Amino acid sequence: MSVARSNYQQVRAAQEKIDAERKQLIANMMDSILYTEGAFSYHDLLVMEPGEIQIMIDRFSHKIETENNARQSAAGKKSVSL
């Protein structure tokens, strides 16, 4: 296999990987828009710094965990009266 062909295949594989990662990133941003019911726009997310995005992810995770714990707690406290 020639060096040029080998390099082309490596470049092509790298490009495909980048394309897949970009599509996943866009999907994650769209999920954030949907899960926050439009609290953020696509443009808002594009201009955020990586540190800000990480803080937002941490806060989302904490919020979801707190809500799940509250739901589980409430479900465990329900009693049936006959």
What are the pLDDT tens digits along the chain (82 aa)? Answer: 565 677 889 999 999 999 999 999 889 888 888 888 888 888 998 999 988 988 988 888 898 899 999 998 888 866 555 5
User: Which of 73, 32, 70, 79 minimizes the C-alpha distance to 53?
Assistant: 32
pTM of this structure: 0.61
CA pair distance 72, 65, nearest whole angstrom: 10
Contact 61, 53 (CB under 8 A): no
The residues near 40 (Cβ < 8 Å, ≥ 6 apart) are 32, 33
